[in-house]
Amino acid sequence: MTKEKIVVIGAGMAGGRIVEEILKRDDTRFDISIIGAESLPTYDRIQLSPVLAGEKSFEQIVTHSQEWYDSNGVKTHFGYWVQSIDTKGKFVVLHDGQTIAYDKLILAMGSDPIRLPLPGADLHGVVAFRDLHDVDAMQKAAAQGGEAVVIGGGLLGLEAAYGLAKRGMKATVIHLVDVLMERQLDEAAGRLLEKALLERGVTSVLNAQSEAILGETHVEGLKLKDGRVIPASLLVMAVGIRPHVEPAKSSGLKVERGIVVDDQMRTSDPDIFAIGECAQHRGQCYGLVAPIWEMCRTVADVLTETRPDSEYHGSSLATRLKVSGVDLYSAGQFSGGEGYEDVVFRDPSRGVYKRLVIKQNKLAGCVLFGEATDGGWYFDLMKKGEDIGDIRDTLIFGQAVTNALAGQDPSDAVAAWPDDTEVCGCNGVSKGQVVASIQAGNDNLDKVRGHCKASASCGSCTGIVESLLKCTLGDAFKAQTGPKPICKCTEHGHAVVRRAIVEQEIKTMPDVMQALKWSTPDGCSSCRPALNYYLLCAWPREYKDDPRSRFVNERNHANIQKDGTYSVVPRMWGGLTSAKELRAIADVVDKYDVPMVKVTGGQRLDLFGIKKQDLPAVWADLNAAGMVSGHAYAKALRTVKTCVGSEWCRFGTQDSTGLGVKLEQATWGSYMPHKFKMAVSGCPRNCAEATIKDFGVVCVDSGYELHVGGNAGIHVRVTDLLTKVATEEEALEWSMAFVQLYREDAWYLERTAPWIERVGLQFVKDGLAEPDVRAALVARFLESQAVFQVDPWAEIAPRSEPAKVFSPLADLRAGISQSHLQEPAE
């Protein structure tokens, strides 16, 4: 007997999924063929954004490979498109003329990106963002650098712009209205998003209408209606999608905006179904994946007759932006209106904004920015239409707080869900599947993600998966929560470990690991450097520094380069140098063939491309001219930048250069949680940029303003004013006290800026206010300096024992030093 023939048009997300759902229910009854216009197997289209940003590879996003189709007996025609459908004869015609007969036909043709009919729209370098070809084209353009313009400030446009910025282009988003993602965000959240994108290299131009794309053969820029021209070598149009309805329309099926279907996803021809973005259900066309999984389940239920009366009733949608580090979630109705009430929470210092929209004691919508972990919970309350009257007061603080105040464990609610409740919309994983995965031994979030894919795509259900871990594993999982552990080797966070070292007087690394029950024999590359620092900070005299727990740069006292050579930066006190020092540097450059010398951003000279075995000799030569290590490689005092100050400058109020030298001489060599930079400016013109340093001094007529917590790195932060003092001695005292407070309190790899953000400026002010507390801090600092203020370069003289490891153990290139011949045993 011949099998019933199912033909699927479109091998995208809906096409791949429907085949899988049918096979799951019945893998013998049908003879299935799938035709896809892209010459690729099925991949997770939503992951094109991370592929563009270089965060994933194409291989990682394939969901149904050629082998998968083959091994399931599905015939594939990738790289073919269907030209027409003969609904009477029941066959489809491919572009090369071949025909394929069907008993049941499933249309899963997705949608097409809308191309604005602007002058110049057909130039080279104008692309859409829909498939792998587009991503390839963008990657190639990005490899050349330059500028990119993205038209459209919706989800797709922003993800494209972010991806391009991450690949090194200068990206600008042009948006027609005055709020980004206005369909998902209110104005406040839109502004925060704008700012977050700017920090990631994406500039937004709002209220802007495009007029023409400029260029001869290749795009050169975009002209706006207001006359502005934005230069660009790549232009991405991300202005929306239109359901792909051909060849359904020309074959006589009922088509409006999309292909019209009923609640069983049947088109106007009872043997033809339509799913995914090409379908129009109850007047609605969707542009997100969550509805697709539900549509596929219905069609599979109906076709296999597992549940012949199965129906789809539409979906509510939630959106999460896939831009690393930007937490943004939006669901339901948020524009408010009559009968709607708002609950809003703002914490500008942390960049958090949350808004809940409530109607008649039910949650109708939410917008979350900066802290979006509760998105899944709100969405669930919304979908289930639960009465929130009782928890309304605490709702905005999220699930954990709400349940805790109600005396209930958050995981209890999740535990009560039926097994078939869907947990992960992106990957269509049910609660039962997650629990089964946990019971099969996947006892943490990463493992569950790897095993059953739940929360592996957009991440909005992470909180639910965690709750399931908790209620399935009980205490075994509770131990993993609490403050974020230092790394996978321990359940404890930085604060607990530090406190234990001091309070229990633990003085060696194996003892810390023993006392705090490390799960690995000797830690890992995350915890060992942290423990080494905590121990040497707590016990400067007793603890012996462990170079093997230090990152390569701190072990080799130079910065490793991508080719394995090193760079060497001698200290130049306060940015000062002399003929003698410069001459010695010049000699080193000649003697060791140093390929590049560069003036650094920290007012000194960097010698690049030095071979490891030459390091001890280079240092010896620099030491001989009086220079010491600049610690340009260490979590330690880096540079003290200065300006010329009152010595020469007509505006200078104090001797900023002199004070800079004193500061550097007092603090060099001291190890810290992270690198530490200082600067002294001679007047408020601030030529030494003191207000973006960890400790900055701005001289004024009446004395010295002391500023702390500045950072010019990835996130620029301007300093806070700590205090003002009258004399240099006080400035020095405060600097040392501040450094010591930071050394004793901050977590490893936490610079002063995030540290102060975490503990608050008041904590720092209070910690330094009392003169005797300050004096005690200075005393502990000096105690530590007595041990650590040594030049590491001087300790590794050429041909000394410590220098030995800088040369290879053996060099066999010239010939084999000694060889044994052995016959293997039979």
Partner 1 sequence: MNASVVIHWTDVGPAEEVQPQSARRVETDLGAVAVFRTVSDEYFAIFDRCPHKHGPLSEGIVHGKAVACPLHNWSISLETGEAMGADAGKGCTPTVPLMIENGRILLGLNI
Amino acid at residue number 205: V
Binding span for ligand SRM by CB under 6 A among 33-41, 98-106, 294-302, 561-569: 561-569
Q: Residue 568: which residues within 8 A CB-CB, separation 6 or more?
A: 558, 606, 607, 610, 615, 618, 619, 622
Closest separation in Å from C-beta 162 to ligand FAD = 11
Give residue 307's Cα distance to chain centre. Answer: 42
355 binds, among ligand SRM, ligand FAD, partner 1, none (CB under 5 to 8 A by kind): none
Total number of residues shown for the chain: 826
Relative to beta strand 234-237, strand 147-151 is: parallel
Name which of 240 and 351 has its Cβ closer to ligand FAD: 240
CB of 469 within 8 A of CB of 415? Answer: no
- Alpha helices (H) in 440-526, listed in sequence order: 445-452, 462-473, 475-478, 494-503, 509-515
- Calpha distance 678→668 (Å, rounded): 11
CB of 291 within 8 A of CB of 124? Answer: no
10 binds, among ligand SRM, partner 1, ligand FAD, none (CB under 5 to 8 A by kind): ligand FAD
Closest separation in Å from C-beta 66 to ligand FAD = 15
Binding span for ligand FAD by CB under 6 A among 9-17, 260-268, 399-407, 762-770: 9-17
CA angle 470, 471, 474 (to 5 degrees): 70
714 binds, among ligand FAD, partner 1, ligand SRM, none (CB under 5 to 8 A by kind): ligand SRM
Name which of 258 and 570 has its Cβ closer to ligand SRM: 570
Please tell me whether residue 708 binds ligand SRM under the rule CB under 6 A.
Answer: no
Binding characters for ligand SRM, 599-618, by CB under 6 A (x = yes): -xxx-x-x------------
Please tell me whether residue 713 binds ligand SRM under the rule CB under 6 A.
Answer: yes
Residue nearest to ligand SRM (CB): 713
Binding span for ligand SRM by CB under 6 A among 397-405, 698-706, 707-715, 776-784: 707-715
Please tell me whether residue 567 binds ligand SRM under the rule CB under 6 A.
Answer: yes
Name which of 388 and 560 has its Cβ closer to ligand SRM: 560
Residues 154-183 that bind ligand FAD (CB under 6 A): 156, 159
Residue 91: burial class (beta carbons within 10 Å; 0-12, 13-18, 19+): middle
Residues 432-471 that bind ligand FAD (CB under 6 A): 458
Please tell me whether residue 598 binds ligand SRM under the rule CB under 6 A.
Answer: yes
Amino acid at residue number 390: D
* Interacting residue ranges for partner 1, rule: CB under 8 A: 520-525, 528-529, 548-552, 555-556, 560, 562, 564, 805, 808-813, 816-824, 826
Binding span for ligand FAD by CB under 6 A among 5-13, 516-524, 632-640, 716-724: 5-13
149 strand-pairing partners: 172, 235
639 binds, among partner 1, ligand FAD, ligand SRM, none (CB under 5 to 8 A by kind): ligand SRM
Give the pair of three-digit tokens for residue 675. 């690198």
CB of 353 within 8 A of CB of 345? Answer: yes
Closest separation in Å from C-beta 800 to partner 1 = 15
Give residue 656's Cα distance to chain centre. Answer: 40
Name which of 319 and 556 has its Cβ closer to ligand SRM: 556
Please tell me whether residue 14 binds ligand FAD under the rule CB under 6 A.
Answer: yes
Please tell me whether residue 707 binds ligand SRM under the rule CB under 6 A.
Answer: no
Among 7, 22, 48, 732, binds ligand FAD (CB under 6 A): 48
Please tell me whether residue 427 binds ligand SRM under the rule CB under 6 A.
Answer: no
Residues 661-680 that bind ligand SRM (CB under 6 A): 675, 677
711 binds, among ligand FAD, ligand SRM, partner 1, none (CB under 5 to 8 A by kind): ligand SRM
322 binds, among partner 1, ligand FAD, ligand SRM, none (CB under 5 to 8 A by kind): ligand FAD
Name which of 9 and 739 has its Cβ closer to ligand FAD: 9
Name which of 275 and 509 has its Cβ closer to ligand FAD: 275
Binding characters for ligand SRM, 480-509, by CB under 6 A (x = yes): ------------------------------
CB of 209 within 8 A of CB of 358? Answer: no
- Calpha distance 506→14 (Å, rounded): 58
638 binds, among ligand SRM, ligand FAD, partner 1, none (CB under 5 to 8 A by kind): ligand SRM
Give the pair of three-digit tokens for residue 762. 């008041």
Interface with ligand FAD (CB under 6 A), residue total: 34
Please tell me whether residue 751 binds ligand SRM under the rule CB under 6 A.
Answer: yes
DSSP letter string over 720-748? EEEEEESSHHHHHHHHHHHHHHHHHHSPT
CA angle 756, 758, 763 (to 5 degrees): 55
CB of 798 within 8 A of CB of 806? Answer: no
Amino acid at residue number 599: V
Name which of 10 and 463 has its Cβ closer to ligand FAD: 10
Relative to beta strand 170-174, strand 147-151 is: parallel
- Calpha distance 602→677 (Å, rounded): 9
Closest separation in Å from C-beta 666 to ligand SRM = 18
Name which of 168 and 287 has its Cβ closer to ligand FAD: 287
Please tell me whether residue 110 binds ligand FAD under the rule CB under 6 A.
Answer: yes
Q: How many CA atoms lie within 13 A of 322 on its CB side?
A: 22
- Calpha distance 95→761 (Å, rounded): 69
Among 204, 639, 691, 784, binds ligand SRM (CB under 6 A): 639
Please tell me whether residue 634 binds ligand SRM under the rule CB under 6 A.
Answer: no
Please tell me whether residue 127 binds ligand FAD under the rule CB under 6 A.
Answer: no
Relative to beta strand 202-205, strand 170-174 is: parallel
Residue nearest to ligand FAD (CB): 12
Q: How far is CA 599 from CA 214, 392, 606, 608, 665, in A?
A: 40, 59, 6, 11, 21
Interface with ligand SRM (CB under 6 A), residue total: 21
Please, what sign has the CA dihedral across residues 302, 305, 309, 310? Answer: negative
Please tell me whether residue 172 binds ligand SRM under the rule CB under 6 A.
Answer: no
DSSP SS3 for 279: strand
CB of 447 within 8 A of CB of 483? Answer: no
- Calpha distance 169→158 (Å, rounded): 14
CB of 34 within 8 A of CB of 15? Answer: yes
b/e map of 531-547 (b: 16 or more CB within 10 Å)? bbbbbbbbbbeebeebe
Nearest to 700 by CA among 646, 663, 660: 646
Closest separation in Å from C-beta 560 to ligand SRM = 7
Name which of 509 and 632 has its Cβ closer to ligand SRM: 632
82 binds, among ligand SRM, partner 1, ligand FAD, none (CB under 5 to 8 A by kind): ligand FAD
CA angle 166, 170, 176 (to 5 degrees): 105
DSSP letter string over 554-575? HHHTSEE-TTS-EEE-B--GGG
Say which DSSP state 276 is in.
G
Relative to beta strand 259-261, strand 279-281 is: parallel
313 binds, among ligand SRM, ligand FAD, partner 1, none (CB under 5 to 8 A by kind): none
Give the pair of three-digit tokens for residue 316. 């509510």
Among 569, 628, 690, 796, binds ligand SRM (CB under 6 A): 569
Binding span for ligand FAD by CB under 6 A among 108-116, 223-231, 266-274, 774-782: 108-116
Which spans of this chain sit near ligand FAD (rule: CB under 6 A)? 9-15, 35-38, 45-46, 48-49, 81-82, 108-110, 129-130, 156, 159, 244, 276-277, 287-290, 292, 322, 458
Interface with ligand SRM by CB under 6 A: which residues?
559, 561, 567, 569, 598, 600-602, 604, 606, 630, 632, 638-639, 675, 677, 711-714, 751
